[in-house]
Amino acid sequence: MTLSRWQRGRSQPERRQSLRAVAEIEGILGLPRGTLQTLLTSRRPRGRAMSTRGETSEALSRILSPGAPLEVALGADAYRFNEHLVSLSVHETLRLDAHGCIARYAVSHVVRATQDGARRLTAHHNLDDIETPSVQVTVQCGRLEALRFRQEVGSAVFDIGFGRPLRRGDTAIVDYTLDVGPRWKPSDHHERTLAVPVRQYLLHIFFHPERLPSAVYGYYKQASGAERQDIRPLVLDASHSVHIMPAKCSAGIYGIAWNRDGTDP
């Protein structure tokens, strides 16, 4: 009877026991953990909001290897990274310059609060060249609250506020661009760490027409120290760009690698 009511949309699982049942259904159907739970619509909980802090920490600990860029940038706080938010979709657009360096990151991020009171999203970008002199963040949706640029480790961490505290189940959209100061050490890849499954991830990269790669590959990694797998060649389109958009976006690391000499990245 309960499952029938969920299917018909007359009610949805909210209590802890019901959410555990959803997790069991995901296992029976062979779906990545969290796939069905991210489809639940926003609804004010009747009781105390369920904390996912332990789940977030556990998920990140499985993916981040010691010395991973996020851990270097944030230390122990890396395992509390956006602990009260879950990503629904992430769209990234990168543009490379004539030197072959990533010059701009444009990101659109949709998140849902897992507890009352979430006020901001923390973003982290690991830069290829530790000699990068500066970065500039422009927020189109949200409000830039803090920027921590650590040149010595090639890291930019910044907080973008929602402008209001979210209730559990509320969603928020954050759009921003990160412009990187002049560099001369060419980039050869970009990747995104996803601690939990998301509905949609799109990585779109534009190459400069004066410096086109000879080979481009999309790939997946289970953890930061793991080998690349699911490697597949990508072909430049009319705009000198490539993209990946996994049909099933499980937790892990997704990326695109490229070079100019024809060997595998």
pLDDT confidence of residue 261: 61
pLDDT confidence of residue 224: 83
pLDDT confidence of residue 228: 95
At 70, phi and psi to the nearest 5? -65, -40
Q: Please, which contacts does 144-152 make with residues 24 or more away whose CB atoms are closer than 8 Å? A: 144/176, 145/120, 150/73
pLDDT confidence of residue 14: 56
**38, 75, 199, 218 from 34: Cα distances, Å:** 6, 26, 10, 24
Residue ranges in the chain modelled with pLDDT below 70: 1-19, 32-61, 63-68, 70-74, 76-79, 261-265
- pLDDT tens-digit map of 145-170: 999 998 888 889 999 999 999 999 99
Residues in a beta bridge with 217: 233, 257
**What is the rounded average pLDDT for all residues in the chain?**
83
pLDDT confidence of residue 43: 45
pLDDT confidence of residue 91: 98
pLDDT confidence of residue 255: 97
Cβ neighbours of residue 150 closer than 8 Å, sequence gap 6 or more: 73, 156, 157
- pLDDT tens-digit map of 55-88: 666 666 676 666 667 666 667 666 677 889 999 9
How far apart (Å, rounded) are the C-alpha atoms in residues 128 and 124? 13
Residues in a beta bridge with 92: 107, 203
Count of beta carbons in the 10 Å neighbourhood of residue 86 = 21
- Establish how many alpha carbons lie within 13 A of residue 171's alpha carbon, considering only the half-sphere containing its beta carbon: 13
